[in-house]
Amino acid sequence: MREPRSAARTRPEYYRGAVIPGTSDGGGRGIVKPLPPEWFVPHDGNAEMRWDAPTGPGPHTPNERFFVRNHTRTPRIDPDTWRLRVHGSGLRGPDAVFSLADLHALPATTLDAVLECAGNGRRFWAEQQGTPAPGTAWGLGGVGMAAWHGVPLGVLLERAGLGPAAVDVLAVGLDPEYRVGGRNLGRVRRPLPLAKALEDVLVAYGMNGEPLPPDHGAPARLVVPGWVGVASVKWLGSLEVSDRPLESPWSTEFYRLFGPGQPADGGPALTRQSVKSAFELAPGAVLAAGRTHRLRGRSWSGAAAVRAVEVSTDGGRVWRTAELLDPPSRYGWRRWALDWRPAAPGRYGLRARATDLLGRTQGAEAPFNREGYLFDAVVVHPVEVV
Ligand SMILES: Nc1nc2c(c(=O)[nH]1)N[C@H]1C(S)=C(S)[C@@H](COP(=O)(O)O)O[C@H]1N2
Ligand SMILES: [Mo]
């Protein structure tokens, strides 16, 4: 297994918020909440969660520390005048319109789910595999887990008059239209197959026991558990229910795999997230030799609960089973810990790999794709023992 080139040198700088070549980091432009540098790494209007900042006693990521991924900027929406319109050929009758009070009056549920950007871990394509990918150079902090509270989308669609011929639901956000490369692609929107919509998707208006914060989609967003973050459309304005398959640039152009092993014109629109693990430790952390250190981290998978996590401190030769601190969770992550007593000073690359209940695991290399989505290889975490 190759060691990342000069990782110990570049990563600590990056985690202090340095500008990364190839991106134009703008200090969290367009995000409403404060982004203290000890909690976040800014990426040109997006904010990455730092894994070395303690995140409280439980498994949930506090709202004020949750990563933000915006195509444009966070809109401020008046919850009193906000309406969600449901329309389209897949409904039996006319449009249905819901106010926030209407949503509050519908049956609600709470679900622990990881929300993760498809591009999370993108910088490791360059650092570990020598194949840099364009786009936001996330470390592993384009992810968080919250207890999402809201109305099951299936319940809402039934109330709206879901018809038997419906196949797709297109969620449209109320944030500004997305302009890129001289084109206006319109509002952020992405179709969702009806089967998933009816399975476990939420129209969420609560996050970790609080109303949804502005940056995370207030007054209501989709939460599509286990799927790439872009499916979870924020600031919901409308839902088109269609009796024909729908598409948008977010399902045809972005968030698909292009490259070897894919059809010539690209793979299908991305759905499930891959398996990942992260240490709750600063990259390049300095640890004392001859002492016992409790290594902590979290692992998650979009397809099933995490079953086991193994850690290697010797370059991937010996793997030890980590202690799992949370019960299995279908869509949540599991925290883990493992004691390590490094005998000798030097530079080490810590490795963690998770396996989920479907047997999906993390290997030494992730299969290349042009846009650098779904990095699921073991990420080598540099530390220095002194
Ligand atoms: N309307 C809208 N929804 C959106 C986005 C956006 O820019 N606009 N970004 C998407 C992407 S790419 C991700 S990864 C998640 C991020 O959610 P968060 O900012 O609450 O962490 O929201 C998704 N939903
Ligand atoms: Mo994303």
> What pLDDT, in 10s, does the model give residues 184-214?
999 999 999 999 999 999 999 999 999 999 9
User: What is the structure's pLDDT at 55?
Assistant: 84
Distance of CA 75 to the CA centre of its chain: 20
For the chain, which residues score pLDDT lower than 50? 1-27
Nearest Cα residue to atom 15 of ligand 1: 229
Query: Per the structure block, which two tokens stand in for 271?
Result: 């759905």
Distance of CA 44 to the CA centre of its chain: 17
Residue 58 CA to residue 189 CA, distance in Å, equals 33
- State the ligand closest to the CA atom of 171: 1
Closest ligand 1 atom to Cα of 144? 21
175 lines ligand 1 (CB under 6 A): yes
Q: Which residues of 319-329 are buried (b: 16+ CB within 10 A; e: fewer)?
A: eeebebebeeb
254 lines ligand 1 (CB under 6 A): no
Q: What are phi and psi of 332, to 5 degrees?
A: -95, 170
pTM, two decimals, is 0.92
CA nearest to 298, candidates 320, 316, 276: 276
Residue 94 CA to residue 91 CA, distance in Å, equals 7
Bridge partners, 227 (sequence order): 272
| Cα–Cα separations (whole angstroms), residue 278 to 109, 198, 352 | 29, 31, 7
234 lines ligand 1 (CB under 6 A): yes
The model's pLDDT over 328-352, given as tens digits with 9 standing for 90+, comes to 999 999 999 999 999 999 999 999 9
Ligand 2 centroid to Cα of residue 386, in Å, is 38
